[in-house]
Amino acid sequence: MIKTVYLAGKMTGRLWSDVMNERVHATELLEAAGLTVLDPTRGEGYSDDEVCSGSASPDRCVVERDLADVRRAQATIVQMQVADPGFGTTVEWAYTRFLGKPVFVLIGERSVESLGPWRREMATALFKDVEALVDHLGAFWR
């Protein structure tokens, strides 16, 4: 069975090129490892007929599509190597945990101590980079 992961991370207030560079890099490595990646930047627009009716606001469509992706995925990967999670990422993280699914967090060069108790406890596992995460996932889903 192919595993599906949801790729979360702060986008608001960041350079779009930085956001996309991080996500493309992560997606390439995760897909090379045989995973399907659900990324809210995937370019399908804000409206997804599966989760959003034509009368809903664009904001509601974004939220509903992202939450549907979290439900579809077997895990969420939070990218916080550069930026602390925004509100949307925090909600996706908490929703994933509420559903009983793992949350894997990429922290880059940050110290584990700097994350604080809530982030450390709500993370299934912490990784410095995507490569270390990919290595872990192979064993995690055996």
Give me the amino acid identity at 139.
A
Rounded Cα distance between 88 and 66, Å, is: 9
- Sign of the alpha-carbon dihedral angle for 75, 123, 34, 43: positive
Rounded Cα distance between 49 and 64, Å, is: 11
Averaged pLDDT score across all residues of the chain:
86
Q: How far is CA 53 from the centre of its chain?
A: 24
Over residues 117-130, mean pLDDT: 94
Question: What does the pLDDT read at residue 100?
Answer: 96
Question: What does the pLDDT read at residue 46?
Answer: 43
Question: What does the pLDDT read at residue 47?
Answer: 47
Question: What does the pLDDT read at residue 55?
Answer: 63
Rounded Cα distance between 47 and 54, Å, is: 8
What number does CATH give the domain 4-140? 3.40.50.450
Whole-prediction pTM: 0.87
